[in-house]
């Protein structure tokens, strides 16, 4: 049973560019959340998608946007990249409140 | 606003030792608490999930306890091995309605088990 799949694994972008990260949730999961993890820090919540709608959003600017597709997969888009956007981006999926989250291996984004 | 603190930030122990990692949270209105392991540059691997109604959960050499009223959880690792070296993160999920909600993480405890 495949877990959470993220692509790409690594990415290097230039300041000002735009980037799209992708996530396929674990089979049976319908909710996808995105987190940003800076070096040496705990993951910070970006937003969560359920039934193709953004259900919750963390303290991130509008440059961060997302989408969930009918098959529950999701994309995270970041516009006008800043050097400070360099981080590990983690996708997590879940189903229902009772059960825990399953995380993917992450996408390492470097902005130069 | 929920805040999660993990102590110590880093820990180095010789192989075979039993150890305890601590996690505290400021808002006791949680739904559950999850412990994760993270290897350098990698994603998170779930270790244990404790519901707010539970006191502890066990998996192999790992035991996690939860005292919701005092806002504390501990992760006990028995007979530590070099392969246990990683960063351990705790995360709390808030209570209330809704089908899902965000996790609030601590900054982690970086564990090194030496030979």
pLDDT mean over B51-69 = 96
User: What are the phi and psi torsion angles at B101 (to 5°)?
Assistant: -155, 165
Are A97 and B34 inside 8 Å of each other by CB?
A: no
CA A112 to CA A22: how far, in whole Å?
21
Put simply, whether A15 touches B (Cβ < 8 Å) is no
Chain segment B72-96, per-residue pLDDT in tens: 999 999 999 999 999 999 999 988 6
Report yes or no: B1 and A59 within 8 Å, Cβ to Cβ.
Answer: no
Is the link from the previous residue into B36 a cis peptide, with omega within 30 of 0? no
pLDDT at B98 over 60: no
Name the minimum distance, in Å, from the CA of B27 to any CA of chain A.
17
Are A101 and B34 inside 8 Å of each other by CB?
A: yes
Coil, strand or helix at B59: strand
Report yes or no: B114 and B14 within 8 Å, Cβ to Cβ.
Answer: yes
CA B17 to CA A90: how far, in whole Å?
32
Cβ neighbourhood burial of B62 (10 Å; 0-12, 13-18, 19+): middle
User: Which of B 63-102 lie inside 8 A of A, CB atoms?
Assistant: 89, 91, 93, 98-102
Report yes or no: B13 and B113 within 8 Å, Cβ to Cβ.
Answer: yes
Query: Which chain B residues are Cβ-neighbours of A98 within 8 angstroms?
Result: 32, 51
pLDDT at B100 over 90: no
Does an H or E element contain A77, and which? strand A74-78
pLDDT at B36 over 80: yes
Are B93 and A105 inside 8 Å of each other by CB?
A: no
pLDDT at B16 over 90: yes
**pLDDT tens digits in sequence order for chain A, 112 residues long:** 569 999 999 999 999 999 999 999 999 999 999 999 999 999 999 999 999 999 999 999 999 999 999 999 999 999 999 999 999 999 999 987 778 899 999 999 999 9
CA A15 to CA B82: how far, in whole Å?
40
Are A45 and B103 inside 8 Å of each other by CB?
A: yes
pLDDT mean over B66-77 = 96
Strands A10-13, A107-111: pairing kind:
parallel
Query: Which chain B residues are Cβ-neighbours of A96 within 8 angstroms?
Result: 99-100
Q: What was the pLDDT predicted at B63?
A: 98
Report yes or no: A46 and A35 within 8 Å, Cβ to Cβ.
Answer: yes
CA B9 to CA B89: how far, in whole Å?
10
CA A30 to CA A27: how far, in whole Å?
9
Q: Which residues pair with A55 in a beta bridge?
A: none
Eight-state DSSP code of residue B42: S
**Contacts across the A-B interface (CB distance below 8 Å):** 73
CA B88 to CA B6: how far, in whole Å?
9
């Amino acid at each position: 049973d495949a877990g959470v799949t993220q692509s790409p694994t690594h990415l290097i972008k230039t300041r000002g560019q735009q980037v799209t990260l992708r996530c396929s949730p674990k089979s049976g999961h319908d909710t996808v959340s995105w987190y940003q993890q800076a070096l040496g820090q705990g993951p910070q919540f970006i937003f969560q998608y359920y039934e193709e709608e953004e259900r919750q959003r963390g303290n991130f600017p509008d440059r961060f946007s997302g989408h969930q597709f009918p098959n529950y997969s999701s994309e995270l888009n970041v516009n006008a990249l800043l050097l400070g956007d360099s981080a590990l981006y983690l996708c997590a999926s879940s189903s229902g409140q009772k059960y825990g989250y399953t995380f993917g291996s992450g996408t390492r984004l470097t902005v130069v | 606003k929920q805040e999660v603190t993990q102590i110590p930030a880093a820990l180095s122990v010789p192989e075979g030792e039993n150890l305890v990692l601590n996690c505290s949270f400021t808002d006791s209105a949680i739904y559950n608490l999850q412990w994760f392991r993270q290897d350098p540059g990698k994603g998170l691997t779930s270790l244990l999930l404790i519901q707010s109604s539970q006191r502890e959960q066990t998996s192999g050499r790992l035991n996690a306890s939860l005292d919701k009223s005092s806002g504390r959880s501990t992760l006990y690792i028995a007979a530590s091995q070099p392969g246990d070296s990683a960063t351990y993160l705790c995360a709390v999920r808030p209570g209330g309605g809704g089908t899902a909600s965000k996790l609030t993480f601590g900054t982690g405890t970086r564990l090194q088990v030496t030979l």
